[in-house]
Structure 1
Amino acid sequence: MNVDEEIERLKEEIHRLGKIQSDGSYKVTFGVLFNDDRCANIFEALVGTLRAAKKRKILTYDGELLLQGVHDNVEIVLKPDAQAASAAT
Structure 2
Amino acid sequence: MNVDHEVELLVREIKRLGKEGANGKYSVTFGVLFNDDQCANIFEALVGTLRAAKRKKILSYDGELLLQGVHDNVVVSLL
Q: Report the TM-score when normalising by structure 2.
A: 0.99
- Structure of higher CA gyration radius: 1
Q: 1:52 & 1:25 partners in 2: Cα distance? A: 19
Q: Where in structure 1 are there 5+ consecutive unaligned residues?
A: 80-89
Shift of 1:72: 0.1
Instruction: Count matched residues.
Output: 79
Match of 2:47 in 1: 47
Q: Greater share of helix residues, 1 or 2?
A: 1
Q: How does 1:16-55 map to 2 (within 5 A)?
A: 16-55=16-55
- Name the structure 2 match of 1:70: 70
* C-alpha distance in structure 2 between counterparts of 1:29 and 1:44, whole Å: 19
TM-score by length of 1: 0.88
Which secondary structure does the structure 1 equivalent of 2:27 belong to?
strand
- Once residues 25 and 41 of structure 1 are traced to their aligned partners in structure 2, the CA distance between those partners, rounded to angstroms, is 25
Shift of 1:24: 1.1
Structure 1 residues 27-86: Cα deviation after superposition (integer angstroms, max 9, x where no partner): 10000000000000000000000000000000000000000000000000011xxxxxxx
Q: Secondary structure at the match of 1:34?
A: helix
